[in-house]
């Protein structure tokens, strides 16, 4: 039997969840023995196979139309979608932006910061994606498994992926659940 | 007793119990948020839902009284579903950014409940409505974004503290906690007891000084007593790496049942005085760091038996007090700035217990500022007010209790005794007549007198208590002031003939009056935890423990013998006050005994009955 394929991607996050994934250290070899690690933002292959993967992992919240595309593409191409980390699960740090209007946050970012001035210009090229309200992944597409944590513990990530790679649905209980 | 069945097992429980209380007592866990064992059940959060035969819908167990043959289920799939749903609704209401919350990871009852139900996400996302943060208070930050409106804090502030600062304004999703009539907490009537912080199940009430210093599971906890005043409240000190993380009221403590005041909870956290870390000996008029041995030599060189007096803090353990009295002779020890013992001429015992306040319907307070000096005793009085207990305050000066008292009587200084007598005899006129009326109606009056009450006033209180079948309580001063009075240390200081004076300050800050009093003393030995103007003038300073570093016995104002247990270790060169006095004694070859107070207690009557732990 072919090894199950795993892909990952990220949106509005800090890359910390992927760092925590790498923090499983030598266990990554075991994981590669169990599963076929396909595209990830930290490997050469960036986009999940058109032919589909078994497990899709998403880090980060959905903040703009480009993120939406990433989410929809992963949803279409994977069987089991995993929201990895507090941003993907709840909205996380980026969701604090929801306390302001999008105009306010753009003005703050491009005009009002300590290193910008009134000459700063909010980019408005029509080719650029549009900012949206910040959402958890499950607000955009259905999610099969939520792995909270900021970031999730490497042990938990290893447990989740090795279970999925062996065709089992991981059970997050007790000290495997951590929102912090 | 009634018979009930929980999860298929039958139990006998007392009538009047709630289902929650019955289950908890039988070791069956039902998650709760708004409920708190020391507060009136509120039934607001719905996390404690259980299935009960005969009810169409799940019922909140915290408010449902048991009835005979009730059949209850706490662990069905439907109940778990309803718990998850309740938690989902709570999370959807506010903004819980757990990774940055000081209680996340073990100290949050909300998060713990969600973990227990295996919640990995929020099925209903919040709408990111922005709630304010009130950071106006010196000790407490009110982070409304994390508040679940369980109203534990509101009930605690009213029911336990009697302060009624907190309430809720607005309606529905806009409901928000408020202080008084909507002022910032720091400008409100809050008395900074921190009880609200202790009962808050979430991170909404942030203790500025404790936040992020360590969670409970990373801390050691030590139950002990607060030695800041004679109420003798039980506390729990949480420490980490030999630092105090936070101080909680001990819910199991008989005297205070979890409630403490600013002095017990927060003041130790903001202690800014500089510690004395080594012995100091004055050489050529200048203070110089010295070894213990050199310091003891310097003391021995000036010690002439019979000509040394001692001044002690009334916050020292019984053992230290005994040691000092053996060291210089019991007649030569007096409490710093003692006002004398106004009870010495009275037939003992004549005082009751703080617990007598519980059933009191009329409290007469005379000669004491409870809100300042014995705050928790003040809470005990204030919290009686809503149930109709009348409070009569007799004080020639202004007193924070003026606000709550039904009758405030302001006699001229020295007129308290006469006024009390008029009240008791029913001969009072004008405003006082109303007080007399309240007193005459009362079935369980309690008379509380304090430090500034004269012997005549106390006598009048005792007589009034006899006449109305009431109880008298004396608050006195520091944590061991009942014992210092008993040991005859409450007397005016005679320093004229003293060639040397031993001053055992420990935690106390010397007043200008004390410093002035000691100006002419030729040789001063100060035992202190902190540097002060007095330690700077001392000939020898010995570094001693602060309260959390010293164990020992204390007798509360109403006679409870309690043990203080050290929760942290003193710095290297610092010794407990007991050890320090013992060191002096052994250098001088004087025999001391730290237990002598015990025998004395057996041989002579005390103002109130002694209760051994
Ligand atoms: S109060 Fe509890 S649930 Fe809310 S943010 Fe803090 S830890 Fe999380
Ligand atoms: S600190 Fe005490 S007085 Fe102040 S609001 Fe909280 S419970 Fe009330
Ligand atoms: S501040 Fe805390 S105790 Fe008070 S209502 Fe909010 S969550 Fe409950
Ligand atoms: S009332 Fe006295 S013993 Fe109780 S906490 Fe306050 S200072 Fe400490
Ligand atoms: S604990 Fe029963 S309703 Fe909140």
Q: Does B121 touch chain A (CB under 8 A)?
A: yes
Domain B2-75: CATH class, spelled out: alpha beta
pLDDT, tens digit, for every residue of B439-468?
A: 999 999 999 999 989 999 999 999 999 999
Q: How far is A44 from chain B (nearest CA, A)?
A: 31
pLDDT tens-digit series, residues B38-85: 999 999 999 999 999 999 999 999 999 999 999 999 999 999 999 999
Q: How far apart are CA A10 and CA B75, in angstroms?
A: 39
pLDDT of residue B428: 86
What is the tally of structural domains in chain A?
1
Residue A168 is assigned to a structural domain of this protein: yes
Q: What digits encode the pLDDT tens for the residues A99-153?
A: 999 999 999 999 999 999 989 999 999 999 999 999 999 999 999 999 999 999 9
Q: Do B121 and A83 touch (CB under 8 A)?
A: yes
In this structure, the dihedral spanned by the alpha carbons of residues B602, B603, B605 and B611, taken in order and rounded to 10 degrees, is 0
- Whether the per-residue pLDDT at B339 is higher than 90: the answer is no
In this structure, what CATH number is given to the domain that contains residue A30?
3.40.50.700
Please answer whether residues B608 and B351 qualify as being in contact, where contact means their C-beta atoms are separated by less than 8 angstroms: yes
Using DSSP, state whether B482 is helix, strand or coil: helix
CA of B453 to the centre of ligand 4 (A): 21
Arithmetic mean of pLDDT over chain B = 96
Query: How long a stretch of residues is chain B?
Result: 613
Give the pLDDT band (50/70/90) at residue B304.
Answer: confident
Contacts of B55 (CB under 8 A, 6+ apart): none
pLDDT in tens, B476-529: 999 999 999 999 999 988 888 899 999 999 999 999 999 999 999 999 999 999
Pairwise CB contact (< 8 Å): A179 & B104: yes
Residue A153 domain-assigned (yes or no): yes
Q: Per-residue b/e over B332-369, b at no fewer than 16 CB within 10 Å?
A: bbbbbbbeebbbeebeeebbbbbebbeebbbbbbbbbb
pLDDT, residue B368, reads 94
Say how many C-beta atoms besides its own lie within 10 A of residue B130's C-beta: 12
**Mean pLDDT to the nearest integer, A83-87:** 98
Q: What's the rounded Cα separation, in Å, for the pair A108 and A2? A: 50
In a domain, A111, yes or no: no
Residue of A nearest to B132 (CA): A99
Beta-bridged to residue B10, according to DSSP, are: B5
B115 CA to chain A: closest CA distance, Å?
Answer: 6
CA B468 to chain centre: 30
> Is residue A127 assigned to a domain?
no
Q: Does some domain include residue A110?
A: no
CB of A121 within 8 Å of a chain B CB? The answer is: no
Q: B354-477 is classed in which CATH architecture?
A: 3-Layer(aba) Sandwich (3.40)
CA of B203 to the centre of ligand 1 (A): 6
Q: What does the pLDDT look like over B355-413, one tens digit per residue?
A: 999 999 999 999 999 999 999 999 999 999 999 999 999 998 889 999 999 999 999 98
Beta strands in B243-388 (DSSP E): 243-249, 280-283, 286-289, 308-312, 333-335, 362-366
| Alpha helix segments (H runs only) across B426-523 | 430-441, 455-467, 481-486, 512-517
Tell me the C-alpha distance between B81 and B61, whole Å: 16
| pLDDT exceeds cutoff 70 at B553 | yes
Residue A121 lies in a domain: no
For chain B, first and last CA: distance in Å? Answer: 31
Share of chain A above pLDDT 90, in %: 97
B333-348: average pLDDT: 91
**What are the pLDDT digits (tens) for B238-297?**
999 999 999 999 999 999 999 999 999 999 999 999 999 999 999 999 999 999 999 999
Structure tokens at B484: 């210092």
Q: Is A124 contained in some domain?
A: no
Name every residue whose Cβ is closer than 8 Å to that of residue B428 and which is 6 or more positions away in sequence: B419, B422, B435, B436
Model confidence band, residue B430 (pLDDT cutoffs 50, 70, 90): confident
A42 touching chain B per CB within 8 A: no
Q: B54, B34 in Cβ contact below 8 A?
A: no
Task: Spell out which residues line ligand 1, taking CB within 6 angstroms.
Answer: B 96-98, 101, 103-104, 108, 110-111, 146, 202-203
| Minimum-distance CB partner of B125 among A99, A139, A148 | A139
Assess if residue A140 is contained within a domain: yes
| CB contact (8 A) between residue B101 and residue A136 | no
DSSP for B381-393 reads: HHTTGGGT-EEEE
Residue-range domain boundaries for chain B: 2-75, 304-338+489-546+567-603, 354-477
The pair phi, psi for residue A53, each rounded to 5°, is -130, 165
Q: How many angstroms separate the Cα of B292 from the Cα of each of B30, B277, B315, B425, B499?
A: 57, 11, 24, 61, 22
| Gap between the Cα atoms of B287 and B285, Å rounded | 7
What six digits make up the tokens of B288?
Answer: 């110089």
Task: Classify residue B435 as exposed, middle or buried by CB count within 10 Å of its CB (0-12, 13-18, 19+).
Answer: buried
Average pLDDT over residues B425-432: 88
Contact residues, chain A, for B122 at CB < 8 Å: 90, 136
pLDDT tops 90 at residue B469: yes
Note if the bond before B585 is cis, omega within 30 degrees: no
H-only helix segments in B54-146: 77-93, 109-116
Q: What is the dihedral of CA B484, B485, B489, B490, to 10 degrees?
A: 120
CA B124 vs. chain centroid, Å, equals 42
Q: Are B405 and B162 in contact (CB under 8 A)?
A: no
The ipTM is 0.95
Closest ligand by atom to B44 CA:
5
- Whether B147 is in the pocket of ligand 3, judged by its Cβ within 6 Å, is yes
Q: Which pair of structure tokens corresponds to residue B388?
A: 């109709």
Question: Which atom of ligand 1 is nearest the CA belonging to B203?
Answer: 1
In eight-state DSSP terms, residue B173 is G
Does A148 sit within 8 Å of B122, measured CB to CB? no
Please name the residue of chain B whose CA is at the shortest distance from the CA of residue A149. B99
Q: Please, are residues B503 and B525 in contact by the beta-carbon 8 Å criterion?
A: yes
A4 interfacial to chain B (CB closer than 8 Å):
no
Contact status of A93 with chain B (Cβ, < 8 Å): yes
List B527's β-bridge partners, or say none: B504, B542
Pocket of ligand 5 (CB under 6 A): B 32-35, 43-48, 60, 62
Contacts of B283 (CB under 8 A, 6+ apart): none
* pLDDT attached to residue B429: 86
Cβ neighbours of A18 (radius 10 Å): 23
B128 vs A contacts (CB less than 8 Å): 95, 98-99, 133
Q: Which domain holds residue A87?
A: 5-95+133-176
pLDDT at B315: 97
- Where does the pLDDT of residue B26 fall: very low under 50, low under 70, confident under 90, or very high at 90 and above? very high
CATH of domain B304-338+489-546+567-603: 3.40.50.740
Ligand 5 centroid vs B505 CA: distance in angstroms?
Answer: 48
Phi–psi pair at B80, nearest 5 degrees:
-60, -40
Question: Cα distance from B215 to chain A (closest Cα, Å)?
Answer: 13
B118 touches chain A (CB under 8 A): yes
- pTM equals 0.95
- If pLDDT is split at 50, 70 and 90, which confidence band does A1 have? low
For residue A57, report the phi and psi dihedrals to the nearest 5 degrees: -115, 135
């Amino acid at each position: 039997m072919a090894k199950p394929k795993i892909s990952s991607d990220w949106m509005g996050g800090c890359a910390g969840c992927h760092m925590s994934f790498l923090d499983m250290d030598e266990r990554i070899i075991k994981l590669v023995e169990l599963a076929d690690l396909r595209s990830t933002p930290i490997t050469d292959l960036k986009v999940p196979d058109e032919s589909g993967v078994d497990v899709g992992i998403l880090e980060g919240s959905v903040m703009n139309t480009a993120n939406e595309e990433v989410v929809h593409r992963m949803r279409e191409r994977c069987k089991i979608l995993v929201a990895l980390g507090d941003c993907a699960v709840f909205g996380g740090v980026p969701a604090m932006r929801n306390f302001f209007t999008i105009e306010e946050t753009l003005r703050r970012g491009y005009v009002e910061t300590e290193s910008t001035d009134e000459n700063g210009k909010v980019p408005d090229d029509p080719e650029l994606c549009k900012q949206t309200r910040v959402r958890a992944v499950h607000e955009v597409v259905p999610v099969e498994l939520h792995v909270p944590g900021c970031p999730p513990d490497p042990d938990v990530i290893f447990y989740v992926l090795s279970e999925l790679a062996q065709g089992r649905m991981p059970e997050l209980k007790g000290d495997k659940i951590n929102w912090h | 007793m009634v018979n009930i069945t929980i999860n298929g097992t039958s139990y006998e429980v007392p009538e009047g119990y709630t289902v929650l209380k019955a289950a908890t007592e039988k070791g069956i866990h039902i998650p709760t948020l708004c409920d708190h064992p020391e507060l009136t059940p509120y039934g607001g959060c719905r996390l404690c839902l259980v299935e009960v035969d005969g009810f169409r819908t799940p019922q909140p167990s915290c408010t449902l009284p048991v009835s005979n043959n009730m059949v209850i289920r706490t662990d069905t799939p439907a109940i778990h579903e309803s718990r998850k749903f309740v938690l989902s609704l709570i999370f959807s209401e506010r903004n819980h950014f757990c990774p940055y919350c000081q209680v996340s990871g073990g100290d949050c009852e909300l998060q713990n409940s969600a973990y227990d139900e295996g919640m990995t996400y929020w099925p209903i996302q919040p709408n990111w409505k922005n709630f304010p943060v009130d950071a106006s208070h010196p000790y407490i930050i009110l982070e409304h974004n994390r508040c679940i409106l369980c109203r534990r804090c509101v009930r605690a502030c009213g029911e336990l503290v009697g302060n009624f600062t907190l309430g809720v304004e607005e309606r529905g999703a806009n409901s928000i906690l408020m202080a008084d009539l909507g002022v910032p907490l720091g400008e409100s009537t809050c008395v900074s007891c921190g009880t609200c912080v202790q009962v808050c199940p979430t991170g909404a009430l942030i203790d500025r000084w404790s936040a992020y210093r360590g969670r409970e599971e990373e801390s050691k906890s030590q139950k002990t007593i607060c030695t800041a005043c004679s109420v003798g409240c039980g506390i729990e000190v949480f420490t980490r790496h030999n630092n105090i993380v936070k101080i909680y009221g001990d819910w199991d403590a008989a005297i205070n049942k979890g409630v403490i005041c600013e002095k017990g909870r927060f003041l130790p956290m903001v202690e800014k005085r500089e510690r004395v870390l080594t012995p100091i000996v004055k050489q050529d008029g200048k203070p110089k760091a010295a070894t213990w041995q050199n310091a003891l030599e310097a003391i021995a060189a000036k010690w002439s038996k019979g000509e040394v007096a001692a001044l002690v803090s009334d916050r020292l353990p019984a053992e230290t007090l005994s040691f000092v009295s053996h060291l210089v002779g019991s007649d030569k020890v007096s409490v710093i700035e003692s006002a004398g013992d106004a009870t010495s001429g009275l037939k003992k015992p004549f005082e009751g217990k703080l617990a007598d306040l519980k059933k009191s319907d009329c409290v007469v307070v005379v000669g004491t500022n409870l809100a300042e000096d014995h705050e928790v005793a003040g809470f005990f009085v204030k919290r009686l007010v809503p149930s109709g207990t009348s409070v009569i305050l007799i004080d020639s000066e202004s007193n924070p209790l003026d606000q709550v008292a039904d009758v405030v009587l302001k006699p001229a200084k020295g007129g308290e005794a006469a006024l009390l007598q008029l009240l008791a005899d029913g001969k009072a006129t004008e405003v006082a007549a109303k007080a007399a009326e309240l007193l005459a109606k009362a079935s369980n009056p309690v008379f509380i007198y304090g430090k500034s009450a004269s012997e005549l006033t106390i006598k009048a209180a005792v007589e009034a208590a006899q006449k109305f079948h009431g109880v008298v309580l004396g608050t006195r001063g520091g944590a061991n002031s009942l014992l210092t009075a008993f040991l005859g240390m409450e007397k005016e200081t005679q320093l004229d003939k003293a060639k040397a004076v031993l001053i055992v300050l420990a935690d106390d800050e010397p007043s200008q009056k004390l410093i002035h009093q000691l100006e002419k003393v030729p040789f001063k030995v100060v035992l202190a935890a902190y540097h002060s103007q007095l330690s700077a003038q001392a000939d020898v300073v010995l570094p001693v423990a602060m309260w959390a570093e010293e164990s020992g016995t204390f007798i509360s104002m109403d006679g409870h013998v309690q043990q203080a247990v050290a929760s942290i270790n003193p710095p290297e060169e610092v010794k407990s006050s007991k050890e320090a006095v013992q060191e002096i004694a052994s250098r001088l070859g004087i025999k001391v005994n730290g237990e002598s107070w015990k025998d004395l207690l057996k041989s002579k009557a005390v103002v109130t009955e002694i209760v051994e732990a």
